Structure 1
């Protein structure tokens, strides 16, 4: 990862740079601005963060393996061969699965997939080693020690990632990005990088087809040249990422030439595909007829993974209902004592393939809320067809607390258990909402609605209608079991802090 070699200009980009000591650089002037030029070298913070990760993984492995050796040996004998062998297997498998690769650290679910893959490989190596040595006592090391290492490493990785994300929100630990493409697509990229600082990108310069933009900039970022000058500017500027966005200038030959021109730099070339909202498991690159082709597989609405999801939904709902039963009983008593009205609110929602079902929630409003709604139509703050009021007078005192922490949605676990909903999925719509759907929005109904989803962890009620639809369609298109796990984890954080709910 690379640090910018010049300070950003303007109030929007006055964020501090940290990491490596600036290299000696020559100055040049572009559109009246002085810009530094320096070769791209590894960022000090990038190297430091990678060292932190390696040390944390090594320390966690050592502590858990030693504790396991003492426990398995009943604290009377220390099984040195198995201890050393298990630790070696883990510490060799993690780098082999690229779990320490700098490009995967702090980025999405891929980092955790690599760690999981490495630990599975380690468990297999330990088991094979035991078989070859004829040591049947290796079982506890495979089924207890290695999983225990995972239970320590994964939360530690997550804590380190949260630290980096917090620093990125403060303008630190960001990668300087050169964006190149049509001004409209570059504008969209800049907006996304600013809205999602945790990704770690900061667009600091732009190249456009004409070498100009609106008053020499695009969305506050200076335009420093034309697309045919891109590689020259990258070499001089020390950018870490070159983000190519859609424009008719980019022919296959020109993209190939750009990739060749950047080979001896540390800049990473990233090309935004035309299919902007399709990613993850549906995209695969393969060579056919000597040409690199981007294969887009169909969304998976059936099959083995969906069966696994169904099993996880039912079992997870049953487990959560058992755990939450005392809390749900307390909530029911509080609602009943509040105004003597019904505890559960039943509402018709639309599920998979347009089938209607009755969704259960704890009642958070007065008993005649639906009738009063017509009088509050002028105060509607909801996006699109949604009806929302930030300070809704119909919400009871108990209801305000339940809504803030999404406790009113706990009875929906019954819907999940009965197969009408899923733990993770698109937001369950009202029948009148679906009547106003555009044709493409009906794709939300291809899967079961969810108790939580991307909309829940990305802003909840503060999202615009368009953004809510975009997130739901992205989930439908790019669903995976790993994505479900990430959403469930982020939901816990979202409801704990109560952000975006009203």
Structure 2
């Protein structure tokens, strides 16, 4: 009997076993697109009607939620206009005099409301999943405020309104502050509902059994993502031993649930019936955990079949994926090529980032000088040791530099580090942090909790060794243990703050810390950095994970 070798395409899980070749479905499409019931049985004889064949039925809760967002957004722009009028009576008098009676005020408010909603829409703040994006949401709101400023200036010029400059500038700025507060509150409300199992998208998870288990566990730990699994489709990649064809073949395999919640999920086969089966189960998303390759015929066919049903196709994207890049098709007759470009690594963007670092670090040094003098006095007074702690860290492209901090530990802290790591069983962790670290001094606990120990790093930023925002600056011994993917964090300057600091700091697992850093490398932007800086202020006041 011919055999095939089956392998799960994940580094953490692989196995081989002989399987009857008859079990292999050479392609995703088997000749029909008839629907299957959730148990896999054919239902093509029933009268399904066109409901299952066309259109995307938006969940009722999304209508209510998005309508609420639009209503609140209108209130923010009206409130912002009122606040500006209150502090700029001359602007109010000018706008009121544009038309008879109150015509000018109503005209301006109508213009401001339309411009604000269009700007928020153009910045993609109403799109699906936007409210679960974290600091990326606030970056989009910053973009919306900038777009609104441009629109108000343009519309005023086109219609000869000659609006006061204070309105064009301050209305978007005040609206930005109010909408950030509004979206924060709405995001918290959404997360609270999702913690209760509400406001989620029913999801079918496809992948190897191990990949499905991992995806289900991640979704359980992060309910704010918004995917509620209702079924799984376990498959593995298979290849005939005597087949020279390099095309990907997939075989459905049994699924052994790891707990009661997984046991309640339906198990579906991977075939052309899957999209209609998912639609019948009211699934809104098909999530690919692993195994399927992006360039395979199966993935391309599955994508068309799923999206034609109005169902979202999602993938647990590797941070090394090109999804964050701008793709361009070069239609050269001799060799068609698709090129990828990450716009944030252009020379102009890097220059702007450096200018921001110089200006903001200089301001920070000047304003924080009294605080730094007080901290220096307290550190020196406690044990008479040095005020600053200098350490060799690795910067952009692997270049070493000396990083400065206020000393928060005993003078013999480095000597007993290895002993403590061995006692606590964390010798393999990149980030060595202890909640009850006996090396930390009394004043050290305070300056760590408030992040005052990081203030001397503003000099590192001003010199150019670091940036205000970026991955945590690593030690040489940490870099020596980096894998291929994690080493990409050396492509940017390390930062005083970054996704690691605003996402839980030392409370994060090593895997979460690595993912946060590498995700930043792929997706950073100037507006995203501003959003991280704003969230850092909140993180410092909360003190989460700072020890």
- For the superposition of Structure 1 and Structure 2, which TM-score range results when normalised by the shorter chain? 0.7 to 0.9
Given that 2:139 and 2:531 are in contact with CA atoms closer than 8 Å, whether structure 1 keeps it comes out as no
Q: Counterparts of 1:464-479 in structure 2 under 5 Å? A: 464-479=509-524
Which of 458, 468, 474 pairs up with 1:423?
468
Higher relative contact order (CA 8 A, sep 6+): 2
Distance change in 2, residues 1:81/1:123 (3 Å): farther
Distance change in 2, residues 1:368/1:29 (3 Å): closer
Unaligned 5+ residue runs, structure 2?
1-36, 41-47, 236-251
Which of 250, 255, 260 pairs up with 1:213?
255
Alignment of 1:327 with 2:371, yes or no, is yes
Which deviations, in whole Å up to 9, do the C-alpha atoms of 1:266-324 show, x marking residues without a partner?
53222456x5543664254769699x997532585451111111111122222223333
* TM-score when normalising by structure 1: 0.80
Tell me how far apart the structure 1 counterparts of residues 417 and 70 of structure 2 sit (CA, whole Å). 57
Given that 1:362 and 1:411 are in contact with CA atoms closer than 8 Å, whether structure 2 keeps it comes out as yes
Q: CA deviation at 1:120?
A: 4.0
Tell me how far apart the structure 2 counterparts of residues 280 and 259 of structure 1 sit (CA, whole Å). 15
Which of 44, 50, 73 pairs up with 1:57?
73
Alignment of 1:379 with 2:423, yes or no, is yes
Tell me how far apart the structure 1 counterparts of residues 197 and 525 of structure 2 sit (CA, whole Å). 32
Q: Counterparts of 1:107-186 in structure 2 under 5 Å? A: 107-108=132-133, 111-112=137-138, 115-186=141-212
Match of 1:364 in 2: 408
Q: Counterparts of 1:76-475 in structure 2 under 5 Å? A: 78-79=96-97, 80=102, 83-93=105-115, 94-95=117-118, 97=122, 99=124, 101-103=126-128, 105-108=130-133, 111-112=137-138, 115-209=141-235, 210=252, 212-215=254-257, 220=262, 222-228=265-271, 229-248=273-292, 253-262=297-306, 265-272=309-316, 275-278=318-321, 281-284=324-327, 295-297=339-341, 301=345, 303-373=347-417, 375-380=419-424, 381=426, 383-438=428-483, 440-475=485-520
Given that 1:318 and 1:417 are in contact with CA atoms closer than 8 Å, whether structure 2 keeps it comes out as yes
Q: CA deviation at 1:164?
A: 1.7
Q: CA deviation at 1:401?
A: 2.4
Q: CA deviation at 1:434?
A: 2.9
* TM-score when normalising by structure 2: 0.74
Name the SS of the counterpart of 2:131 in structure 1. Answer: coil
- Structure 1 or 2, whichever has the larger Rg, is 2
Coordinate RMSD, CA, aligned: 3.7
Q: CA deviation at 1:372?
A: 3.7
Given that 1:363 and 1:408 are in contact with CA atoms closer than 8 Å, whether structure 2 keeps it comes out as yes
Tell me how far apart the structure 2 counterparts of residues 98 and 444 of structure 1 sit (CA, whole Å). 28
Given that 1:362 and 1:408 are in contact with CA atoms closer than 8 Å, whether structure 2 keeps it comes out as yes
Q: CA deviation at 1:411?
A: 1.6
